[in-house]
């Protein structure tokens, strides 16, 4: 469909404030396709957050022994409230793969065969049929002792999507399943969790890193997640955060001291 066609097509439905082409009088199509709530907010090109409270000044990288690989549901990828992407901002070695039921990612397949890595699928141990694959953090320590790089494979999506990824990905069936055991309650404010025990993806990574001995990386990611969470939530109410929060101050301090 050409621009002029789309412009005349919905002429009756156009909102009163919409632009019109001065030459033809036809309504102009919207500049950006409407996708979700918040689409008309001006977003920073660096962090994709509303510009009002941009995340970019707080970006700090960290080193970790373990790696995080994300297997992200296609519907999750472009949601600005996705927290999986925060992990890659902090930990440069993070890998992100899009999950498709019928077409496993070739690079992921190759990495799963790579003997340098000890991959663990992070998933609850609430079903009996894979009980024989369930391991504890002790297995992460064992992997480190045998000079392997522990890898936390996070299934990034809603709980329903994560369960589908877990059940419909035969290449994950041979891997050990590591359930996250934590008392932490979610602090994620951008989506309503079914339960306070349901952590978002970045929070899961924080707790795994912490329990696996990557305390600094965990602390940086936790602060970065908190700044994301607070900044995004404030922008929804058109509130600018003028005084840096404690997490913001800690990240700025790490940048200033060259740790990161």
Binding site for Zn ion (CB under 5 A): 44, 46-47, 54, 56
Phi and psi at residue 68, to the nearest 5°: -120, 125
Task: Please name the residues in contact with 236: beta carbons below 8 A apart, sequence gap of 6 or more.
Answer: 38
d(CA 220, CA 217): 5
Task: Please name the residues in contact with 176: beta carbons below 8 A apart, sequence gap of 6 or more.
Answer: 120, 121, 133, 134, 135, 139
Least distance from Zn ion to the Cβ atom of residue 28, Å: 28
Token pair recorded at residue 178: 């590591």
Least distance from Zn ion to the Cβ atom of residue 157, Å: 24
Q: How many helices (H) and strands (E) does the chain have?
A: 8, 5
User: Please, which residue, 201 or 231, has the CB nearer to Zn ion?
Assistant: 231
- Could you tell me if 7 and 27 are in contact, meaning their C-beta atoms sit under 8 angstroms apart? yes
Least distance from Zn ion to the Cβ atom of residue 43, Å: 8
User: Please, which residue, 48 or 141, has the CB nearer to Zn ion?
Assistant: 48
User: Please, which residue, 56 or 109, has the CB nearer to Zn ion?
Assistant: 56
How many other β-carbons are positioned within 10 Å of the β-carbon of residue 79?
17
User: Please, which residue, 56 or 131, has the CB nearer to Zn ion?
Assistant: 56
Least distance from Zn ion to the Cβ atom of residue 260, Å: 17
């Amino acid at each position: 469909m050409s621009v002029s066609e789309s412009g005349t097509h919905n002429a009756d439905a156009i909102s009163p404030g919409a632009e019109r082409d001065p030459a033809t009088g036809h309504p102009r199509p919207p500049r950006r396709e409407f996708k979700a709530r918040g689409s008309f907010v001006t977003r920073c090109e660096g962090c994709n957050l509303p510009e009002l409270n941009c995340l970019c000044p707080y970006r700090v990288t960290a080193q970790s022994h373990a790696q995080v690989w994300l297997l992200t549901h296609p519907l999750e990828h472009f949601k600005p409230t996705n927290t999986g992407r925060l992990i890659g901002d902090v930990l440069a070695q993070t890998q992100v793969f899009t999950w498709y039921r019928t077409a496993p990612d070739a690079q992921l397949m190759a990495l799963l065969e790579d003997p340098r890595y000890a991959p663990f699928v992070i998933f609850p141990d609430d079903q009996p049929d894979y009980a024989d694959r369930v391991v504890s953090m002790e297995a992460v320590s064992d992997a480190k002792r045998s000079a392997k790089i522990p890898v936390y494979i996070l299934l990034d999506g809603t709980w329903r999507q994560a369960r589908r990824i877990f059940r419909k990905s035969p290449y994950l069936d041979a891997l050990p399943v590591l359930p996250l055991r934590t008392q932490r309650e979610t602090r994620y404010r951008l989506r309503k969790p079914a339960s306070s025990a349901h952590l978002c993806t970045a929070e899961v990574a924080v707790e795994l890193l912490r329990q696996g001995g990557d305390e600094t990386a965990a602390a940086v990611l936790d602060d970065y997640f908190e700044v994301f969470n607070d900044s995004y939530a404030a922008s929804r109410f058109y509130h600018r955060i003028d005084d840096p929060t404690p997490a913001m101050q800690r990240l700025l301090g790490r940048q200033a001291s060259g740790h990161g």
